[in-house]
Amino acid sequence: MDPARIAALLALSSALLAAAAAAASNMGEGVVIGVLDDGIDAGHPSFSDEGMPPPPASWRGRCKHAGVAACNNKLVGAREFTRHLRRPTGRPPPGAGTHGTHASSIAAGAPVLLAAAGGGEGGAAAVSGVAPRAHLVFYQVCAARGCSRGPIMNAVEAALADGVDVLSMSLGDDGGAGFHEDPVVAATFSAVMRGVVVCAAAGNTGASSPAGSVANDAPWILTVGASSPEQSVAAFSSRGPSRNNGGVLKPDIVGPGVNILAAVPRSRQRGESFAALSGTSMSAPHVSGVAALVKSAHPIWSPAAIKSAIMTTADAASIADEARGSGAPANYHAMGAGIVDAARAVDPGLVYDISPEEYFPYLCGLGYTDDQVNRIIFPAPAVTCAEMESTEARDLNTPSVMVALTADTPAVTVRRTVTNVGAARSVYRVDVGAPDGVSVTVTPGELRFDEVNQKASFTVTVERVPGGVLVSEDLGAQVAWVSEEHVVRIPISISARF
């Protein structure tokens, strides 16, 4: 690779990961990230275990992969689920493992010193994963003939048995299959039930595709789109709204996904073992690494609390959308809550928590039969939808709000509950931003807490102003709870069709 090119990419990657490096001194220590992808160069220096402690006592995995000679304290496990997908020759195709090696090193690669251009002062810099002290385990679910659902399901089940804390999935189905038709949805629900955070790529179909092209849109998944170096949303990043749950904002967030310098398999011909790749496949492991940072700092937090911490601390100011022209602002269907901010995510102040059981009446409300719901929530006890009151998607306690205003329904009220995870005694006051023609009212306007883990509820009413002029049919507002220490912000996506 050209030395000048290396220097530029090093500068870019360092800027993208600097916030994560400063987020917490733990650097993800004690957390196990499971990566599902197409292969890994286990001997790459990004997976060196120098200075790494052994995996936590909860780790129960193993190293059983034909392409991995041995594991270590960094790469603590490797499994293969793709024997039936191999090419007839049995030899891996050119470039095999590039995707998986790259994604794994973004999430938790060890620091590797690379020479930059010109030598001398500043002539070298380290390329590091977001959570360099986290452990990795690799599950190969894609091969020459692509990825299939069977291996993905089996890998997730194995990962849960192994004891992973975070799942990173740079893959997905852009076809928009219903939740009841997608076994991957059921597999990821099982993960969340067991306290595992699931981060997945939003897809690369871009703004040119029909609205609702976003993949991995189940509400319990942290769905990640791609931002560009200038903090614009990348043109290729898939857009919402979700085709399967129109009342839940997707994607949830965006992370660095353009020209990300990370490890690729070594070869005698190429020699160079780092390359810059782009895609939501790069942004998803970035956020997986951030989830590991939060998990390490707060081991008992639920997946929903970790997801909330990442979303409510995101940067949503002045984000442009590459697909809409130079400087055009991105809307929530492109950027979700905004660009991930690793340093702030570790200390969010308040979180919007939700238990897996709260998704049961939501799934019933989507119109699925009892059998379909029970296939999604297995191994949870079976439910009967007729015996419970269904929950609309907009009423899930998510760190975002999505409502539709119409001539018949010009006002909508939703309820949210926050949990205090900051200082025991704290006061938060509401700050509301609303577009012309719409009013957003929050009741109460102040939340007071006297202890950690105390909860408080509030309502948000979104209403068209009588006679007000709407500048668009798709509008954005926000509600932020502000204390002396924290700003806890959620986006409100408004569909206004009169």
CB count within 10 Å of CB 368 equals: 17
Residue 319's identity, in one-letter code, is I
318 is catalytic: no
The Cα 340–Cα 314 span in angstroms is 5
* Active-site residue (options: 227, 273, 281, 483): 281
3-state secondary structure of 217: coil
Please report how many Cα atoms fall inside a 13 Å half-sphere around the Cα of residue 137, on the Cβ side: 30
Helix 303-312 with 183-193: angle, nearest 10 deg: 100
* Active-site residue (options: 13, 44, 46, 99): 99
- Provide the 8-state DSSP code for 89: T
Pairing between β-strand 146-147 and β-strand 166-169 as defined by DSSP bridges: unpaired
The Cα 147–Cα 375 span in angstroms is 22
- Provide the 8-state DSSP code for 450: S
Q: CB under 8 Å to 10, separation ≥6 — which residues?
A: 114, 116, 125, 127, 261
46 is catalytic: no
Residue 362's identity, in one-letter code, is Y
Q: Answer whether the bond into residue 251 is a cis peptide, omega within 30°.
A: yes
The Cα 360–Cα 369 span in angstroms is 12
347 is catalytic: no
Nearest to 493 by CA among 179, 239, 320, 291: 239
Q: b/e map of 422-461 (b: 16 or more CB within 10 Å)?
A: beeebebebeeebbebbbbebeeeebebeeeeeebebebe
Q: CB under 8 Å to 149, separation ≥6 — which residues?
A: 182, 183, 184
Largest distance between two CA atoms of the chain: 72
Give residue 388's Cα distance to chain centre: 30
* Active-site residue (options: 13, 37, 242, 486): 37
Q: Write down how long the chain is.
A: 498
Catalytic positions are 37, 99, 281
